[in-house]
């Protein structure tokens, strides 16, 4: 390669022809040398690569499911059941649409790791499949899906619940775009406000906020209604909890081992604590909205759903070492054992009365956080 060609290539972000062997060997996840070869030889972050391979092996498609029977279920089910189900779909459709279109554009200017980028692109594609799945549910389950789209976009309570994630990702996207355009320079604060905050907000979304929605869906589907929706959401749940949330945790684990990452995360202690409170309150507010006017779902009270939120929040609180100052009474036992089987694709049971407790898959819904690594 001529020196002139080498200079041209090395001045771009698309391909770094001057990246050395040592740089390939020690490339950080973020803010390292500009990308060069797709490198699966060194893999300094093997757990991220393993998650990519696992997600790839679990590949599925939104068109695998026939939701035409759900059209009858929505028409024949009790009004409260249909109300809970459609409001659940509204928020999940919105949130997966936001995640699918934002995470790559936000992180792209900062990524230097092959393993991270490969897994992130697969996750983004996965989020698009999730969004398309909810769209297919609406298309096949309603006589007038166009009206449902309009209703979804006008559902202020769902949008309010989404606003925390949307706000944080929008702020990160603005900074990322400014950096990519050369309007601002790389700094520790920029790395913190884009790379770390984005990873943390995604963890709250995927490990906590999705959980309440999954619980409502699985409880309703355990009655025998909306079976195809339950099967599709089970696939989505498997992706979010077994791969996406674990990916977020592994990235934070790796970053905490670096001096820059440790300083960034420690400086966000108050932000993380406030975020935790805000997300939990948003979940409680949405539960209040679902159950207003004396609406109900058999086998799922508002109080049990709040306990379920706290049960799942506990994992993040312990992992991030958030000081909740006894603000919350976290349940010691799973308050919703009747939906445990839905979290294991191989052990799914349909009827509510047949769903005796089944051991959760390791790392999915658990009552511990042994991988706690944040010591402020």
Does residue 373 surpass a pLDDT of 70?
no
Query: According to the model, what pLDDT value does residue 126 have?
Result: 95
Confidence of residue 173 (pLDDT cuts 50, 70, 90): very high
Q: Provide the token pair at 295.
A: 């609406």
DSSP letters along 309-341, please?
Answer: HHHHHHHHHHHTT---TT-S---SS-S-GGGGG
Query: According to the model, what pLDDT value does residue 134 have?
Result: 96
Query: According to the model, what pLDDT value does residue 232 have?
Result: 97
* Phi, then psi, of 215 in degrees rounded to 5: -65, -40
Query: According to the model, what pLDDT value does residue 355 have?
Result: 33
Query: According to the model, what pLDDT value does residue 133 have?
Result: 97
Query: According to the model, what pLDDT value does residue 42 have?
Result: 87
Q: Find the mean pLDDT for residues 239-246.
A: 96
Query: According to the model, what pLDDT value does residue 90 have?
Result: 94
Confidence of residue 8 (pLDDT cuts 50, 70, 90): very low
Q: Are 149 and 138 in contact (CB under 8 A)?
A: yes
- Whose CA is closest to 205, among 111, 97, 117, 122? 97
Cβ atoms within 10 Å of 58's Cβ, excluding its own = 14
Q: Of 100-109, 320-329, 358-367, which gets the smallest average pLDDT?
A: 358-367
Q: Find the mean pLDDT for residues 79-87.
A: 96
Cβ atoms within 10 Å of 18's Cβ, excluding its own = 14
Confidence of residue 286 (pLDDT cuts 50, 70, 90): very high
Q: What is the pLDDT of residues 263-273, one digit of tens each?
A: 999 999 999 99
Q: What is the pLDDT of residues 180-191, one digit of tens each?
A: 999 999 999 999
Confidence of residue 346 (pLDDT cuts 50, 70, 90): low
Query: According to the model, what pLDDT value does residue 345 have?
Result: 58
Q: Of 116-120, 226-230, 307-311, 366-370, which gets the smallest average pLDDT?
A: 366-370
- Whose CA is closest to 36, among 16, 18, 20? 16
Which residue carries 């040592």 as its tokens? 22
Kindly report the CA angle at 359 between 299 and 130, in degrees rounded to 5? 70
Does residue 144 surpass a pLDDT of 70?
yes
Confidence of residue 14 (pLDDT cuts 50, 70, 90): confident
Distance in angstroms (rounded) separating the CA atoms of residues 152 and 148: 6
Confidence of residue 360 (pLDDT cuts 50, 70, 90): very low
Residue 269, Cα to own-chain centre: how many angstroms?
21
Q: Where are the domains of the chain?
A: 1-42, 46-354
* Phi, then psi, of 336 in degrees rounded to 5: -130, 60
- The more confident residue out of 17 and 188 is 188
Global model pTM greater than 0.85? yes
The percent of residues above 90 in pLDDT, for the chain, comes to: 78
Q: Find the mean pLDDT for residues 14-25.
A: 83
- The more confident residue out of 93 and 373 is 93
Q: What is the mean pLDDT of the chain?
A: 88
Does residue 343 surpass a pLDDT of 70?
yes
Confidence of residue 341 (pLDDT cuts 50, 70, 90): confident
Q: Find the mean pLDDT for residues 301-310.
A: 97
- The more confident residue out of 22 and 376 is 22
Query: According to the model, what pLDDT value does residue 372 have?
Result: 52
Query: According to the model, what pLDDT value does residue 26 have?
Result: 83
Q: What is the pLDDT of residues 42-69, one digit of tens each?
A: 899 999 999 999 999 999 999 999 999 9
DSSP letters along 88-143, please?
Answer: HHHHHHHHHHHHHHHHHHHHGGGB--HHHHHHHHHHHHHHHHHHHHHHHHHHHH-S
121 vs 99, 244, 279, CA distance in Å?
12, 12, 26
- Written out in words, the top-level CATH class of the domain with range 46-354 is mainly alpha
């Amino acid at each position: 390669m001529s020196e002139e060609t080498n200079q041209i290539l090395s001045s771009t972000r698309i391909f770094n022809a001057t990246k050395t062997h040592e740089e390939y060997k020690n490339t950080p996840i973020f803010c390292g040398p500009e990308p060069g070869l797709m490198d699966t030889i060194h893999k300094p972050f093997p757990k991220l690569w393993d998650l990519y391979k696992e997600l790839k092996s679990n590949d599925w498609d939104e068109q695998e499911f026939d939701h035409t029977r759900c059209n009858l279920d929505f028409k024949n089910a009790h009004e409260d059941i249909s109300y809970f189900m459609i409001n659940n779909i509204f928020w999940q459709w919105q949130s997966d649409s936001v995640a699918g279109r934002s995470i790559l554009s936000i992180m792209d200017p900062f990524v230097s790791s092959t393993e991270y980028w490969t897994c992130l692109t697969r996750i983004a594609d996965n989020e698009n499949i999730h969004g398309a799945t909810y769209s297919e549910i609406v298309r096949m389950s309603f006589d007038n899906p166009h009206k449902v789209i309009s209703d979804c976009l006008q559902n202020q309570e769902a949008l309010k619940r989404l606003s925390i994630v949307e706000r944080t990702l929008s702020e990160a996207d603005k900074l990322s775009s400014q950096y990519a355009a050369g309007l601002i320079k790389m700094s520790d604060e920029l790395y913190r406000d884009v790379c770390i905050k984005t990873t943390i907000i995604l963890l709250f979304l995927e490990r906590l906020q999705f959980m309440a929605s999954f619980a409502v869906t699985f409880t309703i589907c355990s009655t025998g209604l909306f079976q195809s929706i339950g099967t599709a959401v089970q696939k989505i749940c498997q992706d979010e909890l077994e791969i996406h949330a674990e990916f977020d945790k592994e990235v934070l684990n790796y970053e905490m081992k670096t001096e820059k990452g440790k300083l960034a995360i420690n400086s966000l202690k108050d932000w993380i604590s406030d975020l935790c409170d805000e997300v939990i309150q948003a979940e409680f507010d949405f539960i209040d909205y679902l159950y207003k006017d004396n609406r109900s779902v058999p086998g799922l009270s508002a109080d049990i759903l709040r306990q379920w939120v706290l049960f799942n929040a506990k994992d993040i609180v312990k992992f991030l070492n958030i000081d909740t100052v006894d603000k919350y009474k976290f349940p010691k036992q799973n308050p919703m054992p009747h939906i445990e089987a839905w979290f294991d694709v191989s052990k799914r049971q349909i009827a509510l009365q047949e769903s005796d407790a089944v051991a959760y898959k390791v790392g999915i819904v658990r009552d511990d956080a042994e991988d706690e690594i944040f010591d402020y």
